[in-house]
């Protein structure tokens, strides 16, 4: 294996800038316009409960596909030393699929869900390799800072473009557009362009420094399946990693589901769509400084402690959602999510990077993403179908306690002494 312990600011910033690049997909597409546009345009002929259930199911199916391929992709990248190539392939799948949404016509709910699913696969698949490159740009001592920088830039970049996209939607004439529909459709194109352009620094300036040595490069695909099987056996040696991944499976599912289903939830409650979109912008700009602050607090009071605090706040959000009756309440929820979302994700990523063997980072991050995306198989579908079964969107949100509570309990069983440092 190779370890070149030199991490430049240019590498750290270029790596972090990819969060700035792809977070616009998470904000404008996943959390914002796709749920709104699907319910009003592509699925305009469907009732609210059905469209919400279909939206949740599409997210779950895409997550399941990532579940199947994540560990194999991680193993292949470790063996072939080509993390960036795999990242590029999946990023392009996401970028091209996102731009294709521009061309889908009214009522084509099936095609919109298929393309949406492909974009999620591209986005999530690329993140496997992006996350694994964290160890190639940082030491254990500054890894939490670099991880927090990525999430913070993601919030800022995602918020800036989302603000522009929302302006295109609310005031289309300013942008020489004919309608709000065109505003949303052209927003999909801006996301694809932004994602592509700001990904370039990572590919130019980030170098893969850590990889597993191997003498046989003739069949990396075949070897990857062997590695996946071996890792399933080997992971039993890493008790802390195994326990943390189980906890992560529960809590990240619920977090991602809240992000993906928030607009659909507000729409089902009858709130004005423009105000819901503004609430998401509110979340983004709170999230930018909050993520930095959360990273500082994590170093001050402990990574695990702040992770638990964040999950407790999410549990409060679930209970509070039962009592919201107007957009003011929705803004309060949006603000609370902004305070903890980036911090919880960043701290979780840092903890995992300190628990795993460094020369198998991509493979283990493949399982990290495997766990995260397999959770998303459950969450959106759970919310969608619980709301459908009880004919009440609040039933869907409160059902997330089934995931948050076990997640926080299991965290207490992770051996804290397993955190490694250079």
pLDDT, tens digit, 9 for 90 and up, residues 313-349: 999 998 888 888 888 888 898 899 889 988 898 888 8
Cβ–Cβ under 8 Å, residues 136 and 2: no
Q: What are the residues whose beta carbons fall under 8 Å from the beta carbon of 120, sequence distance 6 or more?
A: 30, 59, 62, 63, 66, 94
Cβ–Cβ under 8 Å, residues 297 and 349: no
On whether residue 3 sits in a domain, the answer given is: no
Average pLDDT, the chain: 82
For 321-384, strand residue ranges (E) read none
pLDDT at 128: 79
On whether residue 2 sits in a domain, the answer given is: no
In 3D, which of 24, 344, 348, 294 has the Cα closest to residue 158?
Answer: 24
Q: How many residues does the chain have?
A: 422
The Cα-based distances of 357 to 73, 211, 247, 365 in angstroms read: 18, 11, 19, 11
Q: What is the DSSP letter of 25?
A: I
| Three-state DSSP class for residue 379 | helix
pLDDT at 309: 94
Expressed in angstroms, the distance from the first to the final Cα of the chain is: 16
Please give the Cα distance from 410 to 405 (Å, whole number): 9
Whether the per-residue pLDDT at 396 is higher than 90: the answer is no
pLDDT, tens digit, 9 for 90 and up, residues 215-232: 454 455 566 566 666 766
On whether residue 251 sits in a domain, the answer given is: yes
- CA-CA-CA-CA dihedral for 410, 412, 417, 421, to nearest 10: 70
Whether the per-residue pLDDT at 261 is higher than 90: the answer is no
Dihedral sign for Cα 414, 417, 419, 420, please. negative
Tokens found for residue 6: 């030199």
Whether the per-residue pLDDT at 420 is higher than 60: the answer is no
Please give the Cα distance from 200 to 165 (Å, whole number): 22
Helix count and strand count (H, E) for the chain: 15, 0
Q: Model confidence at 98, in pLDDT bands (50, 70, 90)?
A: very high
The total number of structural domains that make up the chain: 1
Q: Could you tell me the residue range of the domain that residue 358 belongs to?
A: 9-418
pLDDT at 422: 40
Please give the Cα distance from 421 to 95 (Å, whole number): 36
On whether residue 407 sits in a domain, the answer given is: yes
Which residue is it, tokens 């107007």?
326
Cβ–Cβ under 8 Å, residues 280 and 34: no
On whether residue 312 sits in a domain, the answer given is: yes
Cβ–Cβ under 8 Å, residues 207 and 11: yes
pLDDT at 184: 92
Residue 43 — φ and ψ, nearest 5°? -110, 30
In 3D, which of 407, 405, 387 has the Cα closest to residue 397?
Answer: 387
Taking residue 146's Cβ as centre, other Cβ atoms within 10 Å add up to: 23
Whether the per-residue pLDDT at 257 is higher than 90: the answer is no
On whether residue 1 sits in a domain, the answer given is: no
pLDDT, tens digit, 9 for 90 and up, residues 144-181: 788 878 878 987 898 899 889 989 998 999 999 999 99
Please give the Cα distance from 126 to 94 (Å, whole number): 8
Q: How many percent of the chain have pLDDT more than 70?
A: 84
Cβ–Cβ under 8 Å, residues 399 and 275: no
For residue 376, give the CATH number of its domain: 1.20.1250.20
- CA-CA-CA-CA dihedral for 311, 316, 322, 324, to nearest 10: -110
């Amino acid at each position: 294996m190779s370890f070149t312990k030199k991490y430049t600011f240019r590498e750290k910033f270029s790596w972090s800038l990819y969060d700035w690049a792809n977070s616009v997909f998470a904000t404008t597409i996943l959390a914002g316009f796709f749920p709104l546009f699907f319910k009003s345009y592509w699925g305009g002929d469907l009732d609210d409960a059905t469209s919400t259930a279909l939206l949740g199911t599409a997210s779950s199916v895409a997550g399941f596909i990532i579940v199947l391929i994540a560990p194999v992709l991680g193993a292949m990248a470790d063996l072939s030393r080509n993390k960036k190539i795999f990242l590029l392939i999946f990023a392009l799948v996401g970028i091209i699929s996102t731009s294709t949404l521009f061309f889908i016509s009214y009522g084509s709910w099936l095609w919109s869900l298929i393309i949406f699913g492909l974009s999620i696969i591209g986005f999530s698949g690329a993140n496997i390799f992006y996350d694994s490159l964290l160890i190639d740009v940082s030491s254990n001592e500054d890894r939490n800072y670099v991880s927090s920088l990525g999430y913070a830039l993601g919030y800022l970049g995602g918020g800036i473009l989302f603000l522009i996209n929302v302006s295109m939607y609310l005031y289309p004439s300013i942008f020489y557009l004919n309608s709000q529909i065109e505003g949303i459709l052209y927003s999909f194109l801006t996301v694809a362009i932004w994602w592509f352009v700001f990904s370039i620094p990572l590919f130019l300036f980030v170098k893969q420094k850590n990889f597993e040595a191997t003498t046989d490069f003739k069949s990396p695909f075949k070897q990857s399946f062997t590695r996946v099987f071996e890792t399933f056996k080997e992971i039993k040696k890493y008790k802390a990693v195994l326990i943390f991944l189980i906890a992560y499976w529960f809590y990240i599912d619920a977090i991602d589901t809240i992000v993906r289903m928030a607009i659909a939830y507000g729409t089902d409650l009858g709130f004005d769509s423009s105000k819901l979109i503004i609430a998401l912008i509110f979340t983004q700009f709170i999230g930018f400084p909050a993520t930095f602050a959360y990273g500082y607090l994590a170093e001050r009071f402990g990574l695990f402690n702040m992770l638990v605090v964040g999950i407790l706040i999410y549990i409060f959000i679930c209970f509070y959602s039962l009592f919201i009756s107007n957009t003011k309440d929705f803004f309060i929820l949006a603000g609370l999510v902004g305070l903890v979302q980036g911090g919880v994700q960043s701290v979780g990523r840092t903890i995992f990077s300190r628990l795993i063997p460094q020369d198998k980072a991509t493979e283990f991050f493949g399982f990290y993403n495997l766990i995260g995306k397999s959770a998303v198989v459950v969450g959106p579908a759970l919310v969608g179908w619980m709301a459908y079964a009880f004919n009440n969107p609040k039933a869907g949100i409160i059902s997330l306690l089934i995931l948050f509570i076990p997640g926080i309990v299991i965290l207490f069983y992770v051996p804290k002494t397993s955190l490694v440092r250079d």
